[in-house]
A and B are shown apart, each in its own frame.
Chain A
Amino acid sequence: MNYSHSQNFAFGAKAAHHKSRKKPWFKFILVTLFVVGSWQVGSSVYLLVKAHLAQYLIADAWQATLEDGEQHKPWSWADTYPVAKLNFPTLQETTYVLEGASGRNMAFGPARTVSSGMPGDSISTVISAHNDSHFNFLGHLKLNAVIDIETLKGEFSYEVRDIRVIDSKQQQVVINQQDELILTTCYPFNALQTGGSMRYQVTAIRI
């Protein structure tokens, strides 16, 4: 920073300082408030950007997986890989599913619960995502809507048969011995305060 530059800045700063000399800590509070504020904004923007950009990398990895049938990590240090592509024809939404429904994976895309099944098996497939990123449209999904899912085994279609809100403190996802797709996300949608125990669950049966 050259001298004249810093001097110019100093000018403006001093101008403010002049009046607030009575409260020297006031400036500090202002600065702190601003830093914390931008931290908050920054981290939420960071989450959103991460969530949306990651889908492109995951899409590439899924394409590679489809070509050679092997697992591909979307980025070199990832500990997960895409296992399926979800398509909601009625909503014109497409998203890629990662393996393992951990918080870390769900920041990047919908994720499959490992102990659940895969489409084509006679056991429920549980896929979860956040209601303010990849599953923000889940609330618009109607009964009898069709969900397509593409896995390495081929394409499978499911029809929405049940939509309900469940308190996760009292109930868990029940894994049934039938080929069904269970999508879960938080409820309510568009809520400011999150971390509640309510979950939105969509159950679709293989057709």
Chain B
Amino acid sequence: MAPFFVLIPLLVYVPMFAYETYIAFRRIGKPLDKGGEYLHATWESTHTFLILGVNYFVWLYSAAVVEVARAVFPALLIFGAVFIVRAVLYTQLFYIKSSNKPSILIDRLFAWAHVIMALSLTFTIIVASQIMLSGTYEANQVFLPLLWPGLIFMLPLVSVPLYFLYRTKSS
């Protein structure tokens, strides 16, 4: 059961982040009022799924963390650094920039930040999977009975507002 806790949030995260990446490229060079918008209302929601997946992996498979950490150290820190850069660019694009005109350079940096994040995360997941599959790591089962009801309750609960948010942005 433990692997599902890691896989479910990550499987939800991947298409959501892929969609954000698509929007980030689609908006390059467009003014804010003509297709240059972004999923600003969901920006912070999407990444909660990543955090959830990472959290679960780390704490359920705590015996593997040291080995995995050594193998993915640079890749995951690159992800983290670019994540901050992306947040800065996001703030610049949607809250600081005063004119409606597009800023091609910032637009491109913003879009490519998504790609770098996706690449470093993919590398991390592949390396971590290899380590996990080649070793025998037991999950911390003791707190699982206190954790799974939350997952069953939370996913449907948050999917309702998420559905409306994405639908609003798609239309």
Chains A and B belong together in one complex: no
Question: Interface of B with A (CB < 8 Å)?
Answer: none
